[in-house]
């Protein structure tokens, strides 16, 4: 038998976020296995799949809330899998978690500012706040209100805005459309596109709503039982008969 020539992970290929053959465990349960993908600068990459497929687990491992059981993570050519979450945020990754996780009894503004604690410069923080307000005028109008008094869609906008306050280069969004009416979903989708095109952020978008995610994504990966079973451009996967039957209800 020939010897295995590559016992170590491949060195990173370039800038961006590179996920190489990661596995993540909850005790005996291996929730994510051999997952590999790249988020290149300026791209929208979607992870789609059913409830329980391992999408949120993957995002938590990328941001540093869960340790890797195997594999490696590279950000701008450096290994980050041993860095704590705060360090990964300071270096350009941010996560807007599933379920929004706002502080309902704090104002919208104070919620946004909790995202900015890695940003030392007050003027720079203010500029990002203005950017968030320009992106979401309804958030600007409601800045003094308690976050808990906002509609679901408005709360999602605050949750995205809070992640933007960390001034990331890769914005990770976990189920931003969850529980929203179709019209509000469309607003969130348009905002994601503007964040990508105007603010030049790479977006890693996790969605159960495969149609919405595949329409937005430059590249996408389909998760089943902790593994990626299909990858392609958003358009390719929208046209894929397997994806259509399993995820698009065609």
Ligand X SMILES: Nc1ncnc2c1ncn2[C@@H]1O[C@H](COP(=O)(O)OP(=O)(O)O)[C@@H](O)[C@H]1O
Q: Are strands 44-49 and 219-224 parallel, antiparallel or unpaired?
A: parallel
Nearer to Mg ion, 56 or 177 (CB): 56
The reply on whether position 155 binds Mg ion by CB under 5 A is no
The reply on whether position 172 binds ligand X by CB under 6 A is no
Q: Which of 1, 28, 29, 122 binds ligand X (CB under 6 A)?
A: 29
Q: What spatial distance separates the first Cα and last Cα of the chain, rounded to whole Å?
A: 46
Q: Which of 16, 57, 112, 212 binds ligand X (CB under 6 A)?
A: 57
The reply on whether position 56 binds Mg ion by CB under 5 A is yes
Element (H, E) at 126: helix 122-135
The reply on whether position 72 binds ligand X by CB under 6 A is no
d(CA 38, CA 69): 19
Mind giving me the DSSP string for 127-146? HHHHHHHHH-HHHHHTTTSB
The reply on whether position 55 binds ligand X by CB under 6 A is yes
The reply on whether position 52 binds ligand X by CB under 6 A is yes
Contacts of 246 (CB under 8 A, 6+ apart): none
The reply on whether position 103 binds ligand X by CB under 6 A is no
Nearer to Mg ion, 98 or 236 (CB): 98
d(CA 45, CA 19): 12
Phi and psi dihedrals of 233, rounded to 5? -70, 160
Number of residues that bind ligand X (CB under 6 A): 11
Q: Which of 18, 56, 74, 222 binds ligand X (CB under 6 A)?
A: 56
Nearer to Mg ion, 129 or 173 (CB): 173
Q: Are strands 170-174 and 93-96 parallel, antiparallel or unpaired?
A: parallel
Stretch that binds ligand X, among 25-33, 72-80, 146-154, 183-191 (CB under 6 A): 25-33
Nearer to Mg ion, 60 or 125 (CB): 60
Nearer to Mg ion, 119 or 204 (CB): 204
Burial 65-101 (b: 16+ CB within 10 A, else e): ebebeebbbbbeeeebbebeeeebbbebbbbbbbebe
Residue 52 interacting entry, from ligand X, Mg ion, none, C-beta within 5 to 8 Å by type:
ligand X
Q: Which of 11, 13, 26, 84 binds ligand X (CB under 6 A)?
A: 26
Question: Which residues bind to Mg ion, rule: CB under 5 A?
Answer: 56, 98
Question: Which residues bind to ligand X, rule: CB under 6 A?
Answer: 26, 29, 31, 49, 51-57
């Amino acid at each position: 038998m020939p010897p295995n020539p590559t016992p170590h992970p491949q060195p990173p290929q370039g800038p961006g976020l590179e996920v190489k053959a990661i596995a993540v465990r909850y005790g005996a349960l291996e929730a994510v296995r051999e997952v590999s993908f790249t988020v290149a600068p300026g791209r929208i990459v979607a992870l789609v799949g059913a409830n329980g497929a391992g999408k949120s687990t993957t995002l938590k491992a990328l941001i540093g809330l869960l340790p890797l059981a195997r594999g490696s993570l590279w950000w701008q050519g450096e290994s980050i899998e041993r860095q704590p979450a705060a360090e990964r945020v300071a270096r350009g990754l941010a996560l807007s978690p599933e379920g929004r996780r706002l502080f309902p009894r704090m104002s919208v503004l104070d919620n946004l500012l909790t995202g900015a604690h890695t940003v030392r410069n007050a003027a720079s923080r203010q500029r990002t706040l203005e950017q968030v307000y320009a992106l979401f005028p309804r958030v600007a109008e409601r800045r003094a209100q308690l976050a808990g008094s906002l509609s679901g869609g408005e709360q999602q906008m605050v949750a995205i805005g809070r992640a933007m306050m960390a001034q990331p280069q890769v914005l990770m969004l976990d189920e931003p459309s969850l529980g929203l009416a179709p019209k509000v979903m469309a607003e969130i989708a348009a905002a994601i596109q503007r964040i990508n095109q105007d603010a030049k952020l790479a977006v890693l978008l996790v969605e159960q709503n495969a149609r919405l995610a595949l329409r937005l994504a430059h590249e996408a990966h389909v998760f089943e039982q902790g593994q990626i079973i299909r990858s392609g451009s958003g358009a390719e996967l929208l046209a894929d008969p397997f994806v259509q039957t399993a995820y698009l209800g065609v």
